[in-house]
Amino acid sequence: MKINFTLNGQWTEVEAPADTPLLTLLRDFLGLTGTKMGCGIGECGACSVLLDGRLVNSCLVLAAQADGRSVVTIEGVCQPDGSPSDLQQAFIQYGAVQCGFCTPGMVLAGEALLANNPQPSRYEIREAIAGNLCRCTGYQQIVDAIEVTAKNRQEGKSHA
Amino acid sequence: MPDYAFVGKPADRVDALEKVLGTAKYVADYSLPDMLVARTFRSALPHARIKRIDASAALKIPGVLAVITSEDFIDHGRFGYPLADMFMLAYDRVRYVGDGIASIAAENETALQLAMDTLIVELEELPAVFNMQEALSPKAPVIGETPNDAVEMPRGNLLTQYIVRKGDAQDELAQCPVILDEEYTTMHQEHAYLEPEGVFAVPWPEKTGVTVYASCQSPFLNRANMVKTLGLSEDNVRVIQPPVGGAFGGKDDTMYQLSAQAAKLALVTGRPVKMVLPREESMIASYKRDAMQMHLQIGADTNGRLRASRIHATVDSGGYSSITPFTAWRSSIHAMGPYRYDACTVDTDVVYTNNGYSGAFRGFGNAEVCFAIEEAMDELALRLKRDPIDLRLQNCLRPGDTTAHGQKLGDDVALAECLEQVRRLSNWDVLYPEYLKQNSHPSHPGEIRKGMGVAAVFHGISLGAEGADFAVGTLEINPDYSITLTSGLTDYGTGSRTAFTLIAAEVLGVNPGRIVMPRPDTDNSQDSGPTVASRATVLGGNATRVTAEQLANLLNEAAADLLGCTPESLIRDGELFVSPREEPVSFENVVDHARRIGLTLTSRGRWSAPEIRWSMEKGQGKPYFAYHYGAQVAEVTVDTGTGKVEVTRFWAVHNTGKVIFPQGAYGQLYGGITQGLGYALMERVDFDNGYLQATNFDEYLIPTALDVPDITGAFVEKPFSPGPFGAKNLGETGLVPAAPAILNAITNATGRRIRSLPANLERVLIGKDLRKEGSSTACKLGLK
């Protein structure tokens, strides 16, 4: 079947079997391999993407469900010139990255949180990323990175 | 301690940018137009003889190109270290559920699945054994090899034994007024790296060789195993390590099998072959942390002075030996904990069963025995009515002490400092007695109680008596004045590439941004042994240091020649070389001049660990050249109505020597503690008649962000002279004492002791397991 959707801001048309998961569509049909497959059953969050701004496990979403909607993957988070966003830069600066396999999903979980709650507490940050497993970091530096990005964005707004 | 320009200063991880952008290519992300996909057909029985494999029907399926078995490898693909008892695909018998039997390559997933369903494999079920005591009975079926096909003969299911001996512990115990005599049990643990195993093999023209991109820890060992089993020379097998999505000790043997299978399929078909395991197959097929049963007898004087420890441990190796003999050896060395005794005996038996198989896992035997000895120390403190930190301080190893192995320690030992600092940070002297007093009465239903617990750790640096201990680095200044650094020790998320970069920059006096570290590749870097045993910082760091010192020496000579002064009289100002006349020249100018006068601006350096000696027969010697020390305190709340334990605060102080890359060091510490928290409370690998019960993250639970508190970490940077810039190891040590610290805190809260891991709801609430009927269903589905 034909699926039309906005992918990282670009109108995209792709032909795929009706039972294709969104994760497979992104990785195998569109070559966007930043979205990772960790468990295939929606438990680990490595395949997290934003569907109309909501954080979803793309392994559990059928590609057809994205029809007419907007999908943002890790490839769509950076700045237009390809440099990292403020949140991505904070991940680097605060040591939120080790093996990196959970990182794309974590960045999207952070973005989804900050879009809805610009001033989250550390506990709220932990809640927001609780669906994204990380086996390396113990989460602390990820929480630091999201927390400092929230603060910087608030300050940026108040200065503007 | 001297101040450095880059070592110990804030730095970004060298591979962080590509990882946050999502552009880092893991094995699963590779694709080529003519690529085949492959899968392994695995045993659904725990112990069976392979009677017949018939691939003829499977091979007739359109799109199915090759089926291989153990017959397709030299010596049936036999490999393994220290005991070669394993095969690239099972030969003659399967010894655990998930043992690979055949490997299939096809043009697409549909054909591959059809071939999996069509392949005929006839197995004759053999009696199996799942209990270590039963395995040691003379009547038990022998799981290891029988004398006919054994390379080195184990005795029945007793794979090997290790001892430590200091005096006569039995005699000494008889004279002790206070004796603690208890048994402790740990379970298998799953590594749960977020990236499942993956390999991508690309054959060379005319099938003369193969390039293998493997999500493995040690590319050189992987190559050696392929060279041996594929019958190719070292020049015809190239192993490249792409970014690895976590390993924790778990990407050795399983990855060697998958690499050899994919390489063979690529060589047979002449086409690139990709194998990526689904999570279920990864969990069923891969090795686990071993399970251990430990019997501890600890004798002390009434004043708390430790006199004797007598320890007997049994280790479940599962169906194959893998690295478990060395895991067990490390556990035997650490079983008595970092304490002084007049007498000490340790006896460790390693046993074959049909419970999957065990192998390397962060902590490597020490997590298991540390749990036992640190709970025992806590029990002893309660019995003696002593503060648990005081009791440890009274008995802990200090500079110049002699260990139970007969090793005289150096001045790097800083366990007492770690204990004292964690005591201050955690406000232990106020909180621990307060919780103890509050909890002295039986709980009323549903009462929420707080508790605090401590545990100490020592951990031998690098391989010890496990093997040749060296590392090699290379450096080269490129035409664009960038500098290429290689190391045979790899970075699977640990941050070692960044640490090596900072060390090279510090020695060379150049900005770290000049230094490029390509992905580890057997063609561009030098064999440095395995990347295991927390050895990267000390071994690889020192190799980088000596390599950089050679190159720095060349540059100094060239600069001195250019400036007309002596090398000794040069001063460095950032990247500038400055003569005594205060005349500066740039790094680029020095490099240009060096080339003009004909110098070759490359270097290669090797660093070997200080000598160790260990007598397996006497159980004495110097098993490791030095040790890391640390102490951790956990605070928990326990819901006495449900058994739910929450870790509310956590403090960890570790004697790391000089910290090279602070952001990475804290990351290792927090991450290790979090895995230890999982080991303590929730991670449970259950085998039911050999069948794994939890095959994905819906049932095998690992800590989420809500299960871990913010951790307060600190490092005691007492210099360690053999380490690069005074650094010690760190990678495994955060994990090791976390579980006993948490379980001791639970006891502090509830007044009850749990001596088996994990401390799940029913063990905390009612003190025993609720019987749950096991099933083979999840396992069988996962192998389909």
pLDDT band at B91 (very low <50, low <70, confident <90, very high): very high
* Cross-chain residue pair A138–B28, CB shorter than 8 Å: no
Decide if B38 contacts B261 (C-beta within 8 A).
yes
Decide if B121 contacts B60 (C-beta within 8 A).
no
Amino acid type, B385: K
Q: Which of A31, A100, A136 sits opposite B671 (nearest CB)?
A: A136
Q: Which of B243, B246, B663 sits opposite A136 (nearest CB)?
A: B246
Q: Which of B194, B669, B708 sits opposite A44 (nearest CB)?
A: B194
Nearest CA in chain A to B667: A137
Phi first, then psi, for residue B32 (nearest 5°) are -135, 155
State how far residue A67 is from chain B, nearest Cα, in angstroms.
Answer: 24
State how far residue B553 is from chain A, nearest Cα, in angstroms.
Answer: 33
Q: Which of B696, B698, B705 sits opposite A139 (nearest CB)?
A: B705
Nearest CA in chain A to B662: A95
Cβ neighbours of A129 in B, within 8 Å: 705
**Mean pLDDT for the stretch of residues B407-415:** 97
Please determine, for residue B266, whether its predicted confidence score (pLDDT) is greater than 50.
yes
Q: Dihedral of CA B470/B336/B173/B131: which sign?
A: negative
pLDDT value at residue B150: 45
Distance CA B430, CA B423 (A): 10
pLDDT value at residue B679: 98
Cβ neighbours of B22 in A, within 8 Å: 33-35, 73-75, 77, 103-104
Please determine, for residue B152, whether its predicted confidence score (pLDDT) is greater than 60.
no
pTM exceeds 0.80: yes
Residue partners of B761: CB distance under 8 A and separation at least 6: B642, B643, B644
Please determine, for residue B771, whether its predicted confidence score (pLDDT) is greater than 80.
no
Q: Where are the alpha helices (DSSP H) in B529-596?
A: 541-563, 587-596
**Mean pLDDT for the stretch of residues B501-515:** 97
Amino acid type, A118: P
pLDDT band at B146 (very low <50, low <70, confident <90, very high): low
Q: Whose structure tokens read 């009975």?
A: B137
Nearest CA in chain B to A125: B705
**Mean pLDDT for the stretch of residues B253-279:** 98
Decide if A33 contacts B25 (C-beta within 8 A).
yes
Decide if B287 contacts B358 (C-beta within 8 A).
yes
* Cross-chain residue pair B19–A134, CB shorter than 8 Å: no
CB-based burial, B79-96: b 16+ in 10 Å, e otherwise: bbbbbbbbbbbbbebbbb
Decide if B576 contacts B611 (C-beta within 8 A).
no
Interface-testing mutation among A7, A30, A59, A97, with chain B (most B C-beta atoms within 10 A): A97
* Cross-chain residue pair B279–A104, CB shorter than 8 Å: no
Nearest CA in chain A to B696: A39
Q: Which of A75, A97, A133 sits opposite B13 (nearest CB)?
A: A97
* Cross-chain residue pair A40–B28, CB shorter than 8 Å: no
Nearest CA in chain A to B497: A98
Give the helix/strand (H/E) hosting B229.
Answer: helix B219-230
Q: Which of B493, B697, B705 sits opposite A99 (nearest CB)?
A: B493
Pairing of β B711-715 and β B645-655: parallel
Decide if A122 contacts A147 (C-beta within 8 A).
yes
Angle (deg, nearest 10), helices B738-750 and B428-438: 40
Distance CA B647, CA B631 (A): 17
pLDDT value at residue B476: 98
Cβ neighbours of B711 in A, within 8 Å: 138, 140
pLDDT value at residue B599: 97
What pLDDT digit, counting tens, does each position of B647-701 carry?
A: 999 999 999 999 999 999 999 999 999 999 999 999 999 999 999 999 999 999 9
Please determine, for residue B334, whether its predicted confidence score (pLDDT) is greater than 50.
yes
What pLDDT digit, counting tens, does each position of B19-39 carry?
A: 999 999 999 999 999 999 999
Query: What's the CA dihedral at B554, B558, B560, B562 to 10 degrees?
Result: -170
Amino acid type, B644: K
Distance CA B640, CA B443 (A): 7
What value does the mean pLDDT of chain B take?
95
Cα B668 to chain centroid, rounded? 12
Of B769 and A30, more confident? A30
Nearest CA in chain B to A73: B22
B173: helix, strand or coil: helix
Residue partners of A70: CB distance under 8 A and separation at least 6: A5, A6, A50, A51, A52, A53
pLDDT band at B48 (very low <50, low <70, confident <90, very high): very high
What pLDDT digit, counting tens, does each position of B549-594 carry?
A: 999 999 999 999 999 999 999 999 999 999 999 899 999 999 999 9
State how far residue B18 is from chain A, nearest Cα, in angstroms.
Answer: 9
**pLDDT > 70 fraction of chain B, expressed in percent and rounded:** 99
What value does the mean pLDDT of chain A take?
97
Nearest CA in chain B to A135: B193
pLDDT band at B71 (very low <50, low <70, confident <90, very high): very high
> Which DSSP symbol is given to B400?
T
Interface-testing mutation among B9, B20, B679, with chain A (most A C-beta atoms within 10 A): B20
* Cross-chain residue pair B279–A39, CB shorter than 8 Å: yes
Residue partners of B66: CB distance under 8 A and separation at least 6: B59, B104, B105, B265, B268, B269
Nearest CA in chain A to B698: A43
Q: Which of B94-108, B312-326, B525-539 has the lowest mean pLDDT?
A: B525-539
CA–CA–CA angle B291, B249, B157 (5° rounding)? 40
CB-based burial, B159-168: b 16+ in 10 Å, e otherwise: bbebebbbee
Which of B692, B662, B740, B601 minimizes the C-alpha distance to B287? B692
> Which DSSP symbol is given to B374?
H
Distance CA B181, CA B165 (A): 19
Please determine, for residue B149, whether its predicted confidence score (pLDDT) is greater than 70.
no
pLDDT band at B64 (very low <50, low <70, confident <90, very high): very high
C-alpha distances out from residue B727 to A63, B400, B503, B599, Å: 50, 20, 11, 32
Interface-testing mutation among B15, B21, B241, B697, with chain A (most A C-beta atoms within 10 A): B21
> Which DSSP symbol is given to B116?
H
Cβ neighbours of B673 in A, within 8 Å: 138
Q: Tell me whether the omega of the peptide bond preceding residue B338 falls within 30 degrees of 0, making it cis.
A: no
Give the helix/strand (H/E) hosting B36.
Answer: strand B36-42
Interface-testing mutation among B15, B32, B194, B361, with chain A (most A C-beta atoms within 10 A): B194
Cβ neighbours of B704 in A, within 8 Å: 130-131, 133, 139
Which of B390, B520, B544 minimizes the C-alpha distance to B456? B390
* Cross-chain residue pair A99–B492, CB shorter than 8 Å: yes
Residue partners of B698: CB distance under 8 A and separation at least 6: A41, A43
Which of B192, B195, B232 minimizes the C-alpha distance to B212? B232
pLDDT value at residue B444: 85
Distance CA B656, CA A114 (A): 37
Decide if B212 contacts B240 (C-beta within 8 A).
yes
Give the helix/strand (H/E) hosting B451.
Answer: strand B448-460
CA–CA–CA angle A64, A70, A74 (5° rounding)? 105
